[in-house]
Structure 1
Protein backbone atom coordinates (compact mmCIF):
# COMPACT_ATOMS: atom_id res chain seq x y z
CA UNK A 1 0.00 0.00 0.00
CA UNK A 2 3.00 2.33 0.28
CA UNK A 3 3.67 2.83 -3.49
CA UNK A 4 1.33 5.84 -3.75
CA UNK A 5 2.79 9.26 -2.98
CA UNK A 6 0.67 11.46 -0.72
CA UNK A 7 -1.01 14.19 -2.74
CA UNK A 8 -3.21 16.18 -0.39
CA UNK A 9 -2.60 18.04 2.85
CA UNK A 10 -5.40 18.33 5.40
CA UNK A 11 -5.70 19.94 8.83
CA UNK A 12 -7.44 18.42 11.83
CA UNK A 13 -10.67 20.25 12.66
CA UNK A 14 -11.99 18.10 15.48
CA UNK A 15 -11.46 14.79 17.28
CA UNK A 16 -13.85 12.92 19.57
CA UNK A 17 -14.41 9.62 21.29
CA UNK A 18 -17.23 7.75 19.56
CA UNK A 19 -17.16 4.36 21.36
CA UNK A 20 -15.00 2.39 23.78
CA UNK A 21 -11.36 2.85 22.70
CA UNK A 22 -12.55 4.40 19.44
CA UNK A 23 -11.96 7.91 18.14
CA UNK A 24 -13.11 9.87 15.11
CA UNK A 25 -10.95 12.53 13.48
CA UNK A 26 -12.43 15.22 11.25
CA UNK A 27 -10.10 16.74 8.64
CA UNK A 28 -10.76 19.70 6.38
CA UNK A 29 -11.35 18.40 2.87
CA UNK A 30 -8.61 19.51 0.46
CA UNK A 31 -9.61 21.06 -2.84
CA UNK A 32 -10.10 18.45 -5.58
CA UNK A 33 -10.14 15.57 -3.06
CA UNK A 34 -12.75 13.20 -4.50
CA UNK A 35 -13.65 9.65 -3.56
CA UNK A 36 -16.38 7.04 -3.78
CA UNK A 37 -18.22 6.01 -0.63
CA UNK A 38 -16.42 2.97 0.80
CA UNK A 39 -12.91 3.78 -0.42
CA UNK A 40 -9.76 4.17 1.68
CA UNK A 41 -6.50 6.06 1.40
CA UNK A 42 -3.09 6.16 3.04
CA UNK A 43 -2.66 8.85 5.66
CA UNK A 44 0.91 9.98 6.36
CA UNK A 45 1.99 11.82 9.48
CA UNK A 46 4.15 14.88 8.87
CA UNK A 47 7.31 15.07 11.01
CA UNK A 48 5.85 12.93 13.80
CA UNK A 49 7.58 12.70 17.16
CA UNK A 50 8.72 9.14 16.56
CA UNK A 51 11.68 7.25 15.14
CA UNK A 52 9.91 4.31 13.46
CA UNK A 53 9.56 5.16 9.76
CA UNK A 54 7.18 2.24 9.27
CA UNK A 55 4.75 3.86 11.68
CA UNK A 56 4.31 7.11 9.74
CA UNK A 57 1.66 5.79 7.34
CA UNK A 58 -1.59 3.85 7.66
CA UNK A 59 -4.36 2.88 5.24
CA UNK A 60 -7.61 4.24 6.65
CA UNK A 61 -11.14 4.00 5.30
CA UNK A 62 -12.93 7.29 4.81
CA UNK A 63 -15.89 7.05 7.18
CA UNK A 64 -17.53 10.23 5.95
CA UNK A 65 -19.58 10.30 2.76
CA UNK A 66 -18.54 12.31 -0.32
CA UNK A 67 -21.36 14.82 0.23
CA UNK A 68 -20.22 15.63 3.79
CA UNK A 69 -18.09 18.67 4.55
CA UNK A 70 -15.11 17.02 6.23
CA UNK A 71 -12.99 13.93 5.68
CA UNK A 72 -13.68 11.76 8.70
CA UNK A 73 -11.55 8.80 9.72
CA UNK A 74 -12.18 6.60 12.74
CA UNK A 75 -10.01 4.03 14.44
CA UNK A 76 -9.83 1.74 17.41
CA UNK A 77 -7.10 3.17 19.60
CA UNK A 78 -4.16 1.01 20.63
CA UNK A 79 -0.61 1.40 21.93
CA UNK A 80 0.83 1.50 18.40
CA UNK A 81 3.10 4.49 17.84
CA UNK A 82 0.95 5.78 14.97
CA UNK A 83 -2.25 5.78 17.00
CA UNK A 84 -0.66 7.29 20.08
CA UNK A 85 0.67 10.18 18.00
CA UNK A 86 -2.72 10.56 16.32
CA UNK A 87 -4.53 10.56 19.67
CA UNK A 88 -2.42 13.48 20.90
CA UNK A 89 -2.94 15.61 17.79
CA UNK A 90 -4.08 19.16 18.43
CA UNK A 91 -6.64 20.92 16.22
CA UNK A 92 -4.80 22.39 13.24
CA UNK A 93 -2.26 19.56 12.96
CA UNK A 94 -1.61 18.70 9.32
CA UNK A 95 -1.37 15.28 7.66
CA UNK A 96 -1.08 14.04 4.10
CA UNK A 97 -3.63 11.88 2.25
CA UNK A 98 -2.96 10.03 -0.96
CA UNK A 99 -5.43 9.38 -3.77
CA UNK A 100 -8.43 7.37 -2.48
CA UNK A 101 -8.80 3.87 -3.91
CA UNK A 102 -10.48 0.52 -3.34
CA UNK A 103 -13.39 -1.46 -4.77
CA UNK A 104 -15.42 -1.84 -1.55
CA UNK A 105 -18.14 0.38 -3.00
CA UNK A 106 -21.87 -0.03 -3.57
CA UNK A 107 -22.77 -1.93 -6.73
CA UNK A 108 -24.64 0.02 -9.39
CA UNK A 109 -27.47 -2.46 -10.13
CA UNK A 110 -30.35 -0.94 -8.20
CA UNK A 111 -32.55 -4.06 -8.23
CA UNK A 112 -29.91 -6.22 -6.48
CA UNK A 113 -30.08 -5.89 -2.68
CA UNK A 114 -26.97 -5.24 -0.59
CA UNK A 115 -26.34 -7.02 2.71
CA UNK A 116 -23.53 -5.73 4.93
CA UNK A 117 -22.20 -8.08 7.64
CA UNK A 118 -19.80 -6.03 9.66
CA UNK A 119 -17.69 -6.44 12.80
CA UNK A 120 -16.46 -3.61 15.01
CA UNK A 121 -14.42 -0.86 13.37
CA UNK A 122 -15.10 -2.51 10.00
CA UNK A 123 -18.12 -0.20 10.02
CA UNK A 124 -16.04 2.77 8.79
CA UNK A 125 -16.41 2.28 4.99
CA UNK A 126 -20.01 1.12 5.45
CA UNK A 127 -21.01 4.27 7.31
CA UNK A 128 -19.82 6.17 4.22
CA UNK A 129 -21.79 3.94 1.83
CA UNK A 130 -25.04 4.07 3.85
CA UNK A 131 -24.77 7.83 4.39
CA UNK A 132 -24.27 8.52 0.69
CA UNK A 133 -27.04 6.13 -0.40
CA UNK A 134 -29.42 7.82 2.05
CA UNK A 135 -28.40 11.31 0.90
CA UNK A 136 -28.82 10.36 -2.78
CA UNK A 137 -32.13 8.55 -2.07
CA UNK A 138 -30.88 5.47 -3.94
CA UNK A 139 -33.46 2.72 -4.47
CA UNK A 140 -31.09 -0.10 -3.43
CA UNK A 141 -32.43 -2.31 -0.63
CA UNK A 142 -29.75 -2.21 2.07
CA UNK A 143 -29.48 -4.43 5.16
CA UNK A 144 -26.76 -4.01 7.78
CA UNK A 145 -25.94 -6.61 10.45
CA UNK A 146 -23.43 -4.84 12.69
CA UNK A 147 -21.71 -6.90 15.40
CA UNK A 148 -20.01 -5.52 18.53
CA UNK A 149 -19.36 -6.92 22.00
CA UNK A 150 -21.59 -4.36 23.75
CA UNK A 151 -23.49 -1.18 22.76
CA UNK A 152 -20.67 0.88 24.26
CA UNK A 153 -18.25 -0.69 21.76
CA UNK A 154 -20.37 0.18 18.72
CA UNK A 155 -19.31 3.24 16.73
CA UNK A 156 -21.80 5.35 14.77
CA UNK A 157 -24.92 3.85 16.35
CA UNK A 158 -26.70 7.22 16.39
CA UNK A 159 -25.78 7.92 12.77
CA UNK A 160 -26.92 4.49 11.61
CA UNK A 161 -30.24 4.74 13.46
CA UNK A 162 -30.72 8.14 11.88
CA UNK A 163 -30.08 6.79 8.38
CA UNK A 164 -32.60 3.99 9.01
CA UNK A 165 -35.22 6.57 10.02
CA UNK A 166 -34.61 8.66 6.89
CA UNK A 167 -34.13 5.82 4.41
CA UNK A 168 -37.06 3.41 3.95
CA UNK A 169 -34.79 1.09 1.96
CA UNK A 170 -32.28 0.65 4.80
CA UNK A 171 -32.70 -1.95 7.56
CA UNK A 172 -30.30 -1.63 10.50
CA UNK A 173 -29.71 -4.70 12.70
CA UNK A 174 -27.22 -4.09 15.54
CA UNK A 175 -25.95 -7.32 17.12
CA UNK A 176 -24.23 -7.61 20.50
CA UNK A 177 -21.99 -10.66 20.74
CA UNK A 178 -21.76 -10.70 24.54
CA UNK A 179 -24.79 -12.59 25.79
CA UNK A 180 -27.54 -10.29 27.04
CA UNK A 181 -25.72 -7.01 27.59
CA UNK A 182 -27.42 -4.95 30.28
CA UNK A 183 -30.52 -3.24 28.95
CA UNK A 184 -30.09 -4.66 25.43
CA UNK A 185 -33.23 -6.02 23.77
CA UNK A 186 -31.95 -6.46 20.21
CA UNK A 187 -30.10 -9.33 18.56
CA UNK A 188 -27.33 -10.89 20.62
CA UNK A 189 -24.81 -13.69 20.18
CA UNK A 190 -22.65 -14.45 17.16
CA UNK A 191 -24.07 -13.84 13.69
CA UNK A 192 -24.95 -17.24 12.25
CA UNK A 193 -26.94 -18.70 9.35
CA UNK A 194 -30.26 -18.52 11.22
CA UNK A 195 -29.79 -14.84 12.06
CA UNK A 196 -28.88 -13.95 8.49
CA UNK A 197 -31.92 -15.81 7.15
CA UNK A 198 -34.20 -13.87 9.53
CA UNK A 199 -33.29 -10.67 7.69
CA UNK A 200 -32.47 -11.95 4.20
CA UNK A 201 -35.43 -13.69 2.59
CA UNK A 202 -33.52 -15.01 -0.45
CA UNK A 203 -29.90 -15.64 0.47
CA UNK A 204 -28.88 -16.14 -3.17
CA UNK A 205 -30.10 -12.70 -4.30
CA UNK A 206 -27.91 -10.05 -2.58
CA UNK A 207 -24.40 -8.84 -3.04
CA UNK A 208 -22.76 -9.28 0.36
CA UNK A 209 -20.20 -6.93 1.88
CA UNK A 210 -18.04 -8.32 4.69
CA UNK A 211 -15.75 -6.13 6.74
CA UNK A 212 -14.13 -6.74 10.12
CA UNK A 213 -11.49 -8.90 11.79
CA UNK A 214 -10.01 -11.56 9.45
CA UNK A 215 -11.47 -14.45 11.48
CA UNK A 216 -14.97 -13.04 11.30
CA UNK A 217 -14.71 -12.35 7.57
CA UNK A 218 -13.56 -15.94 6.96
CA UNK A 219 -16.40 -17.39 9.08
CA UNK A 220 -19.06 -15.22 7.44
CA UNK A 221 -17.90 -16.16 3.95
CA UNK A 222 -18.19 -19.86 4.87
CA UNK A 223 -21.69 -19.39 6.34
CA UNK A 224 -22.87 -17.45 3.28
CA UNK A 225 -21.66 -20.17 0.93
CA UNK A 226 -23.50 -22.76 3.02
CA UNK A 227 -26.81 -20.88 2.78
CA UNK A 228 -26.63 -20.43 -0.98
CA UNK A 229 -24.86 -17.13 -1.61
CA UNK A 230 -23.08 -16.77 -4.93
CA UNK A 231 -19.33 -16.65 -4.23
CA UNK A 232 -18.95 -14.01 -6.96
CA UNK A 233 -21.37 -11.81 -4.98
CA UNK A 234 -19.28 -11.69 -1.80
CA UNK A 235 -17.01 -8.68 -1.37
CA UNK A 236 -14.71 -8.55 1.62
CA UNK A 237 -12.23 -6.31 3.40
CA UNK A 238 -10.25 -7.43 6.45
CA UNK A 239 -9.26 -5.00 9.18
CA UNK A 240 -6.07 -6.41 10.67
CA UNK A 241 -4.79 -4.93 13.90
CA UNK A 242 -7.88 -2.86 14.56
Structure 2
Protein backbone atom coordinates (compact mmCIF):
# COMPACT_ATOMS: atom_id res chain seq x y z
CA UNK A 1 0.00 0.00 0.00
CA UNK A 2 1.28 3.50 -0.81
CA UNK A 3 0.32 6.99 0.31
CA UNK A 4 0.71 10.37 -1.35
CA UNK A 5 2.66 13.15 0.32
CA UNK A 6 2.14 16.75 -0.79
CA UNK A 7 4.49 19.58 0.23
CA UNK A 8 2.48 22.58 1.43
CA UNK A 9 2.94 25.87 -0.44
CA UNK A 10 4.35 24.08 -3.48
CA UNK A 11 3.11 21.96 -6.37
CA UNK A 12 5.31 19.00 -5.41
CA UNK A 13 3.82 15.65 -4.43
CA UNK A 14 5.19 12.11 -4.35
CA UNK A 15 4.16 8.58 -3.43
CA UNK A 16 5.59 6.70 -0.44
CA UNK A 17 5.69 2.91 -0.56
CA UNK A 18 4.70 0.76 2.38
CA UNK A 19 7.43 0.87 5.04
CA UNK A 20 9.37 3.65 3.26
CA UNK A 21 10.36 6.88 5.01
CA UNK A 22 9.24 10.25 3.70
CA UNK A 23 12.85 11.31 3.00
CA UNK A 24 13.69 8.13 1.07
CA UNK A 25 10.56 8.47 -1.06
CA UNK A 26 11.28 12.15 -1.77
CA UNK A 27 14.81 11.31 -2.95
CA UNK A 28 13.43 8.53 -5.12
CA UNK A 29 11.09 11.09 -6.69
CA UNK A 30 13.99 13.46 -7.36
CA UNK A 31 13.06 15.93 -4.61
CA UNK A 32 15.55 17.06 -1.99
CA UNK A 33 14.32 17.61 1.55
CA UNK A 34 16.74 18.57 4.33
CA UNK A 35 18.48 15.66 6.04
CA UNK A 36 21.79 14.69 7.53
CA UNK A 37 22.06 11.53 9.61
CA UNK A 38 18.94 9.77 8.27
CA UNK A 39 18.92 7.95 11.60
CA UNK A 40 16.67 10.20 13.69
CA UNK A 41 19.47 11.61 15.83
CA UNK A 42 20.29 15.06 14.39
CA UNK A 43 16.93 16.78 13.81
CA UNK A 44 17.91 18.29 10.43
CA UNK A 45 14.89 16.77 8.69
CA UNK A 46 12.28 18.08 11.15
CA UNK A 47 9.14 19.60 9.67
CA UNK A 48 5.40 19.85 10.24
CA UNK A 49 2.62 17.41 9.49
CA UNK A 50 -0.19 19.71 8.29
CA UNK A 51 -2.66 16.96 7.42
CA UNK A 52 -2.64 13.20 7.94
CA UNK A 53 -0.96 10.75 10.29
CA UNK A 54 2.54 9.30 10.60
CA UNK A 55 4.14 6.47 12.55
CA UNK A 56 7.68 5.64 13.63
CA UNK A 57 8.77 1.99 13.23
CA UNK A 58 10.88 1.97 16.42
CA UNK A 59 9.11 4.51 18.58
CA UNK A 60 9.89 8.21 18.95
CA UNK A 61 13.40 8.99 17.53
CA UNK A 62 15.99 10.64 19.81
CA UNK A 63 15.92 14.06 18.08
CA UNK A 64 12.24 14.74 18.76
CA UNK A 65 10.45 14.90 22.10
CA UNK A 66 6.86 14.09 23.02
CA UNK A 67 5.76 17.75 23.10
CA UNK A 68 7.10 18.34 19.58
CA UNK A 69 5.45 15.16 18.37
CA UNK A 70 2.15 16.21 19.94
CA UNK A 71 2.34 19.64 18.27
CA UNK A 72 2.65 18.08 14.81
CA UNK A 73 6.41 18.11 14.34
CA UNK A 74 7.99 15.10 12.65
CA UNK A 75 11.39 13.70 11.71
CA UNK A 76 10.85 12.80 8.08
CA UNK A 77 13.91 10.55 7.82
CA UNK A 78 12.12 8.14 10.17
CA UNK A 79 8.43 9.01 9.70
CA UNK A 80 6.29 6.53 7.76
CA UNK A 81 2.91 7.76 6.48
CA UNK A 82 -0.16 6.14 8.01
CA UNK A 83 -2.41 8.10 5.61
CA UNK A 84 -2.02 10.60 2.80
CA UNK A 85 -0.04 13.57 4.08
CA UNK A 86 0.42 17.28 3.63
CA UNK A 87 3.74 18.36 5.12
CA UNK A 88 5.50 21.66 5.53
CA UNK A 89 9.26 21.55 5.12
CA UNK A 90 11.84 23.74 3.38
CA UNK A 91 12.96 22.10 0.16
CA UNK A 92 16.64 22.20 -0.73
CA UNK A 93 16.82 24.33 -3.88
CA UNK A 94 20.26 25.94 -3.53
CA UNK A 95 23.66 24.79 -2.32
CA UNK A 96 23.37 27.24 0.59
CA UNK A 97 20.42 25.26 1.92
CA UNK A 98 22.77 22.40 2.86
CA UNK A 99 25.16 22.65 5.77
CA UNK A 100 28.59 21.02 5.14
CA UNK A 101 29.58 18.24 7.53
CA UNK A 102 32.87 16.69 8.60
CA UNK A 103 32.56 12.92 8.33
CA UNK A 104 34.66 9.76 8.28
CA UNK A 105 34.33 7.36 5.36
CA UNK A 106 35.72 3.90 4.69
CA UNK A 107 37.11 2.94 1.30
CA UNK A 108 34.69 0.37 -0.06
CA UNK A 109 36.28 -0.14 -3.49
CA UNK A 110 38.99 1.23 -5.78
CA UNK A 111 38.42 0.68 -9.49
CA UNK A 112 41.03 1.24 -12.20
CA UNK A 113 39.41 3.07 -15.13
CA UNK A 114 42.50 4.21 -17.02
CA UNK A 115 46.26 4.11 -16.40
CA UNK A 116 46.01 7.41 -14.49
CA UNK A 117 42.38 7.40 -13.26
CA UNK A 118 40.77 5.56 -10.36
CA UNK A 119 37.15 5.48 -9.24
CA UNK A 120 37.00 5.69 -5.46
CA UNK A 121 33.88 4.43 -3.66
CA UNK A 122 33.38 5.50 -0.04
CA UNK A 123 31.04 4.12 2.61
CA UNK A 124 29.78 6.37 5.41
CA UNK A 125 29.02 5.12 8.93
CA UNK A 126 25.68 3.34 9.22
CA UNK A 127 24.04 6.28 11.02
CA UNK A 128 25.29 8.97 8.63
CA UNK A 129 24.29 10.23 5.20
CA UNK A 130 25.59 13.14 3.13
CA UNK A 131 22.95 15.53 1.81
CA UNK A 132 24.27 17.05 -1.43
CA UNK A 133 23.27 18.32 -4.85
CA UNK A 134 24.63 16.48 -7.92
CA UNK A 135 27.76 18.29 -9.11
CA UNK A 136 29.00 19.43 -5.69
CA UNK A 137 32.38 18.37 -4.27
CA UNK A 138 34.01 17.32 -1.01
CA UNK A 139 37.37 18.21 0.55
CA UNK A 140 39.51 15.39 1.91
CA UNK A 141 41.13 16.51 5.16
CA UNK A 142 44.84 15.63 5.24
CA UNK A 143 47.58 16.00 7.79
CA UNK A 144 48.98 19.46 8.40
CA UNK A 145 45.68 21.12 7.53
CA UNK A 146 45.95 20.31 3.84
CA UNK A 147 42.83 19.71 1.74
CA UNK A 148 42.20 18.06 -1.61
CA UNK A 149 38.94 18.69 -3.48
CA UNK A 150 37.12 16.11 -5.62
CA UNK A 151 33.68 16.21 -7.21
CA UNK A 152 30.99 13.72 -6.33
CA UNK A 153 30.04 11.58 -9.33
CA UNK A 154 26.84 10.04 -7.97
CA UNK A 155 23.40 11.36 -7.03
CA UNK A 156 21.63 11.77 -3.66
CA UNK A 157 19.03 9.11 -4.47
CA UNK A 158 21.87 6.61 -5.04
CA UNK A 159 24.03 7.45 -2.02
CA UNK A 160 24.86 4.10 -0.44
CA UNK A 161 28.38 4.79 -1.71
CA UNK A 162 30.00 8.12 -2.59
CA UNK A 163 31.79 7.99 -5.95
CA UNK A 164 34.82 10.11 -6.88
CA UNK A 165 37.16 10.08 -9.89
CA UNK A 166 40.83 10.58 -8.99
CA UNK A 167 43.50 11.44 -11.58
CA UNK A 168 47.12 10.68 -10.69
CA UNK A 169 49.07 13.94 -10.71
CA UNK A 170 52.88 13.71 -10.77
CA UNK A 171 54.07 14.46 -7.25
CA UNK A 172 50.51 14.69 -5.98
CA UNK A 173 50.30 14.00 -2.24
CA UNK A 174 46.76 12.65 -2.19
CA UNK A 175 46.53 11.19 -5.69
CA UNK A 176 49.88 9.46 -5.16
CA UNK A 177 48.51 7.97 -1.95
CA UNK A 178 45.40 6.73 -3.78
CA UNK A 179 47.43 5.09 -6.53
CA UNK A 180 50.30 3.68 -4.48
CA UNK A 181 49.18 3.05 -0.92
CA UNK A 182 45.43 3.32 -0.36
CA UNK A 183 43.68 0.00 0.30
CA UNK A 184 40.06 -1.06 0.63
CA UNK A 185 38.95 -0.65 4.24
CA UNK A 186 41.10 2.43 4.86
CA UNK A 187 39.51 5.32 6.74
CA UNK A 188 39.43 8.84 5.29
CA UNK A 189 37.95 12.09 6.60
CA UNK A 190 36.29 14.77 4.52
CA UNK A 191 34.18 17.92 4.65
CA UNK A 192 31.26 18.57 2.35
CA UNK A 193 29.29 19.11 0.32
CA UNK A 194 30.82 22.27 -1.09
CA UNK A 195 30.43 24.35 -4.24
CA UNK A 196 27.68 25.91 -6.34
CA UNK A 197 27.91 23.62 -9.37
CA UNK A 198 24.64 21.71 -9.54
CA UNK A 199 21.66 21.07 -11.81
CA UNK A 200 19.15 23.91 -12.15
CA UNK A 201 16.05 21.85 -12.85
CA UNK A 202 13.68 24.83 -13.00
CA UNK A 203 14.82 25.72 -16.54
CA UNK A 204 13.46 24.35 -19.81
CA UNK A 205 16.39 25.56 -21.95
CA UNK A 206 18.44 22.95 -23.83
CA UNK A 207 21.57 21.93 -21.93
CA UNK A 208 25.19 21.53 -22.91
CA UNK A 209 27.33 19.60 -20.42
CA UNK A 210 31.08 19.78 -21.03
CA UNK A 211 33.74 17.95 -19.05
CA UNK A 212 37.49 17.98 -19.45
CA UNK A 213 39.36 14.90 -18.16
CA UNK A 214 38.02 13.91 -14.75
CA UNK A 215 35.73 16.91 -15.03
CA UNK A 216 33.40 14.23 -16.32
CA UNK A 217 32.70 13.24 -12.68
CA UNK A 218 30.25 16.05 -11.79
CA UNK A 219 28.81 15.92 -15.31
CA UNK A 220 27.99 12.27 -14.63
CA UNK A 221 26.19 13.16 -11.39
CA UNK A 222 24.20 15.95 -13.03
CA UNK A 223 23.27 13.77 -16.02
CA UNK A 224 22.14 10.90 -13.82
CA UNK A 225 19.98 13.30 -11.83
CA UNK A 226 18.48 14.68 -15.06
CA UNK A 227 17.71 11.14 -16.21
CA UNK A 228 16.22 10.28 -12.83
CA UNK A 229 13.97 13.35 -13.03
CA UNK A 230 12.92 12.40 -16.55
CA UNK A 231 13.96 15.75 -18.05
CA UNK A 232 13.00 15.98 -21.71
CA UNK A 233 15.13 19.01 -22.54
CA UNK A 234 17.75 18.44 -25.25
CA UNK A 235 21.05 17.57 -23.55
CA UNK A 236 24.36 17.45 -25.44
CA UNK A 237 27.33 16.00 -23.55
CA UNK A 238 30.87 16.88 -24.60
CA UNK A 239 33.90 15.15 -23.10
CA UNK A 240 37.35 16.48 -23.86
CA UNK A 241 40.47 14.35 -23.42
CA UNK A 242 43.88 13.80 -24.99
CA UNK A 243 43.59 10.21 -26.21
CA UNK A 244 40.88 7.49 -26.28
CA UNK A 245 42.07 5.84 -23.05
CA UNK A 246 41.40 9.12 -21.22
CA UNK A 247 37.67 8.71 -21.94
CA UNK A 248 37.62 6.28 -19.06
CA UNK A 249 33.83 5.76 -18.91
CA UNK A 250 33.09 6.35 -22.59
CA UNK A 251 30.48 3.59 -22.76
CA UNK A 252 28.28 5.36 -20.18
CA UNK A 253 27.42 8.56 -22.12
CA UNK A 254 27.13 6.44 -25.27
CA UNK A 255 24.56 4.36 -23.42
CA UNK A 256 22.61 7.47 -22.35
CA UNK A 257 22.59 8.80 -25.91
CA UNK A 258 21.49 5.43 -27.25
CA UNK A 259 18.55 5.23 -24.87
CA UNK A 260 17.04 8.71 -25.28
CA UNK A 261 16.46 10.80 -28.40
CA UNK A 262 16.97 14.07 -26.48
CA UNK A 263 20.56 13.17 -25.48
CA UNK A 264 23.63 13.54 -27.71
CA UNK A 265 27.25 12.73 -26.92
CA UNK A 266 30.41 14.04 -28.59
CA UNK A 267 33.84 12.97 -27.32
CA UNK A 268 36.66 15.27 -28.45
CA UNK A 269 40.37 14.37 -28.45
CA UNK A 270 43.08 17.02 -28.45
CA UNK A 271 46.08 14.79 -29.13
CA UNK A 272 45.15 11.46 -30.77
CA UNK A 273 47.96 9.44 -32.33
CA UNK A 274 47.79 7.53 -35.62
CA UNK A 275 47.74 4.23 -33.74
CA UNK A 276 44.49 5.31 -32.06
CA UNK A 277 42.68 5.28 -35.41
CA UNK A 278 40.41 7.99 -34.03
CA UNK A 279 37.63 9.06 -36.39
CA UNK A 280 35.78 11.38 -34.06
CA UNK A 281 36.07 15.09 -33.28
CA UNK A 282 39.52 16.54 -32.59
CA UNK A 283 40.85 19.78 -31.15
CA UNK A 284 39.80 21.65 -28.02
CA UNK A 285 36.45 20.57 -26.64
CA UNK A 286 35.03 24.08 -26.18
CA UNK A 287 35.77 24.87 -29.83
CA UNK A 288 33.78 21.82 -30.88
CA UNK A 289 30.84 23.06 -28.80
CA UNK A 290 30.84 26.37 -30.70
CA UNK A 291 31.22 24.62 -34.05
CA UNK A 292 28.13 22.53 -33.28
CA UNK A 293 26.20 25.38 -31.61
CA UNK A 294 27.33 28.75 -33.01
CA UNK A 295 24.41 30.51 -31.28
CA UNK A 296 24.34 29.69 -27.55
CA UNK A 297 21.90 32.43 -26.56
CA UNK A 298 19.13 29.92 -25.80
CA UNK A 299 21.19 27.35 -23.88
CA UNK A 300 22.19 26.47 -20.34
CA UNK A 301 25.85 25.38 -20.21
CA UNK A 302 27.44 23.29 -17.45
CA UNK A 303 31.18 22.71 -17.61
CA UNK A 304 33.89 21.33 -15.36
CA UNK A 305 37.57 20.73 -15.86
CA UNK A 306 41.00 22.39 -15.69
CA UNK A 307 41.29 26.20 -15.49
CA UNK A 308 42.73 26.69 -19.03
CA UNK A 309 39.70 24.94 -20.51
CA UNK A 310 37.27 26.87 -18.28
CA UNK A 311 38.83 30.26 -19.07
CA UNK A 312 38.97 29.69 -22.83
CA UNK A 313 35.42 28.34 -22.87
CA UNK A 314 34.02 31.31 -20.95
CA UNK A 315 35.32 33.72 -23.58
CA UNK A 316 34.23 31.56 -26.51
CA UNK A 317 30.76 30.91 -25.14
CA UNK A 318 30.18 34.60 -24.33
CA UNK A 319 31.16 35.47 -27.91
CA UNK A 320 28.60 32.90 -29.09
CA UNK A 321 25.86 34.72 -27.18
CA UNK A 322 25.59 32.67 -23.99
CA UNK A 323 24.15 34.84 -21.18
CA UNK A 324 26.53 34.97 -18.23
CA UNK A 325 23.80 33.85 -15.82
CA UNK A 326 23.21 30.65 -17.83
CA UNK A 327 26.81 29.43 -17.50
CA UNK A 328 27.55 27.15 -14.54
CA UNK A 329 31.04 25.80 -14.01
CA UNK A 330 33.50 24.13 -11.67
CA UNK A 331 37.19 24.81 -12.22
CA UNK A 332 39.48 21.95 -11.18
CA UNK A 333 42.33 23.89 -9.62
CA UNK A 334 45.34 21.71 -8.83
CA UNK A 335 46.45 22.17 -5.23
CA UNK A 336 50.10 23.15 -4.66
CA UNK A 337 52.21 20.31 -3.31
TM range (shorter): 0.7 to 0.9
More displaced, 19-28 or 161-170? Answer: 161-170
Partner of 1:205: helix, strand, or coil? coil
What is the 5 A alignment of 1:85-164?
85-87=177-179, 88-164=181-257
The equivalent of 1:188 in structure 2 is: 282
Label 1:201 to 1:192 Cα distance change in 2 as closer, same or farther (>3 A). Answer: closer
The equivalent of 1:27 in structure 2 is: 122
1:127 CA displacement: 0.9
1:177 CA displacement: 0.9
1:104 CA displacement: 0.7
Determine which structure has more spread, i.e. the larger CA radius of gyration.
2
What is the 5 A alignment of 1:42-53?
42-45=139-142, 53=144
- Conserved 8 A contact 1:180-1:188: no
The equivalent of 2:168 in structure 1 is: 77
- Which residue among 318, 324, 327 is the counterpart of 1:231? 324
Q: Aligned equivalents of 1:168 and 1:135: distance in 2?
A: 16
1:191 CA displacement: 3.2
- Conserved 8 A contact 2:210-2:238: yes
Unaligned residue ranges in structure 1 (runs of 5+)? 46-51
Count of aligned positions:
231
Q: Aligned equivalents of 1:110 and 1:5: distance in 2?
A: 26
1:202 CA displacement: 4.1
- Conserved 8 A contact 1:179-1:189: no
Q: Aligned equivalents of 1:180 and 1:5: distance in 2?
A: 44
Label 1:81 to 1:180 Cα distance change in 2 as closer, same or farther (>3 A). Answer: closer
- Conserved 8 A contact 2:286-2:309: no
1:183 CA displacement: 2.3
Label 1:91 to 1:180 Cα distance change in 2 as closer, same or farther (>3 A). Answer: closer
Label 1:84 to 1:205 Cα distance change in 2 as closer, same or farther (>3 A). Answer: same
- Conserved 8 A contact 1:131-1:163: no
Unaligned residue ranges in structure 2 (runs of 5+)? 1-98
Deviations 1:95-118 (A, max 9, x none): 123231221111123411111222
The equivalent of 1:48 in structure 2 is: none
The equivalent of 2:73 in structure 1 is: none
Label 1:128 to 1:43 Cα distance change in 2 as closer, same or farther (>3 A). Answer: same
Higher relative contact order (CA 8 A, sep 6+): 1
